Structure 1
Amino acid sequence: MDYSQSFAISAIGMNIERARVDVAALNLANANTVQGVGGVSYQPLRVLAVAQANGAGTANGASGTFGAMVSEGLEGSEAISQAAPLMRIVPADAAPRLVYEPGHPLANERGYVAYAGVDTATEMVSMMSATRAYEANVSAMNTTRTLAMRALDIGGNA
């Protein structure tokens, strides 16, 4: 059995979750960034993971179904590397957060200051869920390593 596919799946997952933690930390760091005079402010970011289509024909003519993807994965040893998700970091469509601070130098004519549209609660939840998912991928990788080592031990004693 080839354990490299299991390691590759866990590595891809860890890479995506690390990016989610990094982006959430960046958003939190810029939560109190004030919109500048030119109207440009920090735009919160999001991580999108999009699966690549490998371009091969699918089993049973069912294109894009979960069962067809599993069948392709079982048939081809390189299916994991071809189906690795693309990760994109895109700006979120968040309106600026207006805070009433009439004494602030960047306040508008009504006394409101435009801060970056970052929701700290959402970012903290995103960071915690990404951390838990990263830990799950590490656990899966450690389990795969343990299984591979036990298989080698059994094979060496035969």
Structure 2
Amino acid sequence: MDYTQTFAISAAGMNVERMRVEVAALNLANANTVQGVDGRSYQPLRVVAEARLSAGASADAAGGFASLVSSAAGDIDAALQAGPQVRVIAAGVMPRMVYEPGHPLANERGFVAYANVDPATEMVSMMSATRAYEANVSAMNTARTLALRALDIGSNA
């Protein structure tokens, strides 16, 4: 059995989860930033991980999931090499308006535009990413233990 595929899967998962933790930390760091003088405010970010499909694979209505599985079955090595496609995108939410008439950046009605970051959502995202990262580390350690035991059995035979 080739354990490098198992290690590659776990490593790809750890990369995605590390990125999710970094983005959640960035969002939390900018939770209380105000809209700048130029009118732009911080947009919360989201990590989107998608499976990379081979050139001929598509999830159209005619084939659906079965066609994806059959087209990717012979191309597993290429899919493992590529890993998931990870993008960081802006959430596109409106700023959170807070009434602070004495603030230097308040508008004519006395409202200040803050980044619309929900700290509870970001903390949950960070905790779930940390747990998923730990699960990938555990899977990699299990595969490593199995490989070492297989080598021990082979050397004792």
Does 1:71 pair with 2:73? yes
- The match for 1:119 is 118
AA matched with 1:126: S
Greater mean deviation of Cα atoms: 17-26 or 108-117: 108-117
- The match for 2:17 is 17
Aligned positions, number: 153
Q: Distance in 2 between matches of 1:78 and 1:148?
A: 23
Unaligned runs of 5+ in 1: none
Unaligned runs of 5+ in 2: none
Quote the sequence identity (%): 66
8 A contact 1:34–1:41 mirrored in 2? yes
AA matched with 1:104: H
Equivalent residue of 1:88, what SS?
strand
- The match for 1:86 is 85
RMSD, aligned CA: 2.1
Tell me: CA distance 1:34–1:87, structure 2 relative to 1, closer, same or farther (3 Å).
Answer: same
Deviation at 1:50, TM superposition (A): 1.4
C-alpha offsets along residues 13-43 of structure 1, whole Å, 9 cap, x if unaligned?
0000000000000000000010012210111
Deviation at 1:88, TM superposition (A): 0.6
Q: Distance in 2 between matches of 1:36 and 1:77?
A: 48
8 A contact 1:72–1:79 mirrored in 2? no
8 A contact 2:56–2:71 mirrored in 1? no
Q: Distance in 1 between matches of 2:11 and 2:32?
A: 34
TM-score (norm 2): 0.89
TM-score (norm 1): 0.88
- The match for 1:46 is 46
8 A contact 2:52–2:79 mirrored in 1? no
C-alpha offsets along residues 35-73 of structure 1, whole Å, 9 cap, x if unaligned?
012210111111111111123679xxx575364367336
8 A contact 1:57–1:63 mirrored in 2? no
